[in-house]
Chain A
Amino acid sequence: SQQGEEDPQALSIQEGENATMNCSYKTSINNLQWYRQNSGRGLVHLILIRSNEREKHSGRLRVTLDTSKKSSSLLITASRAADTASYFCATDKGAAGNKLTFGGGTRVLVKP
């Protein structure tokens, strides 16, 4: 079963616009990570936010975490056509055997 659920399932925007996607999860976590996947290939790690952090930035990415609502959001600012991909959130509980539990993903299309 999947821990996280992304919303929306798909997103279509124009180049230059911002893209926001959300992730909800069910149980307590240690870390939450966001990954990008192009055309069904390998996952690229974007950003990790720990359960005691509320916001994190990396380049054009901004991630927030609200542990009281068990939710996270990923904002991509000034999107580019190259940002077209599927985005997944993944949580772990920090126990030995760092199993990642993924959501179903948000498919983002950035139109030039």
Chain B
Amino acid sequence: ETGVTQSPTHLIKTRGQQVTLRCSSQSGHNTVSWYQQALGQGPQFIFQYYREEENGRGNFPPRFSGLQFPNYSSELNVNALELDDSALYLCASSLEADNEQFFGPGTRLTVL
């Protein structure tokens, strides 16, 4: 157990809807990163938040957005869902922006 939790575990949405995924960081960690993992592939970096500010972004469209709260928990929001958004979404927290990342169990999103 890494101490990083994510909710919900599974989620089913339809195309065009919006979704919010949540992540609770390990105690004391001020950095959270989000990754998308399509079936059979490695995770791909979406973005990172450090002390409530976005601190790097991968090759994802603006409909993927995030927030980090003062308690360092985080949300990933995806608007206008597409079928290809179906994936496992992983968050990872770290003590600082350049430290080892500890992953949560993930949220499995299915878009129909």
Please, which residue of chain A has its CB at the minimum distance from the CB of B9?
A: A41
The reply to whether the CB of A112 lies closer than 8 angstroms to some CB of chain B is no
Which of B39, B42, B56, B90 is within 8 Å of A99, CB to CB?
B56
Question: How far apart are the CA atoms of A4 and B40 in the complex, in Å?
Answer: 15
Partner-binding segment picked from B12-20, B44-52, B71-79: B44-52
Counting residue pairs across A and B whose Cβ atoms lie within 8 Å, the total is 75
Which of B37, B41, B43, B102 is within 8 Å of A45, CB to CB?
B102
CB distance A41 to B106 under 8 Å? yes
CB distance A99 to B104 under 8 Å? no
Question: How far apart are the CA atoms of A35 and B40 in the complex, in Å?
Answer: 15
0 or 1 for each of A1-18: is its CB under 8 Å from B? (1 = yes)? 110100000000000000
The reply to whether the CB of A59 lies closer than 8 angstroms to some CB of chain B is no
Question: How far apart are the CA atoms of A96 and B56 in the complex, in Å?
Answer: 8
CB distance B106 to A42 under 8 Å? yes
How many chain A residues have a CB neighbour from B under 8 Å?
Answer: 26
The reply to whether the CB of B55 lies closer than 8 angstroms to some CB of chain A is yes
Chain A interface main SS type: loop
0 or 1 for each of B70-112: is its CB under 8 Å from A? (1 = yes)? 0000000000000000001010101001111111111010000
Known contacts A97-B55, A99-B58, A100-B33; A43/B97 CB under 8 A: no
The reply to whether the CB of A29 lies closer than 8 angstroms to some CB of chain B is no
Please, which residue of chain A has its CB at the minimum distance from the CB of B54?
A: A97
Residues of A within 8 A of B (CB): 1-2, 4, 33, 35, 40-45, 48, 88, 90, 94-105
Residues of B within 8 A of A (CB): 2, 4, 31, 33, 35, 37, 39-45, 48, 50, 55-56, 58-59, 88, 90, 92, 94, 97-106, 108
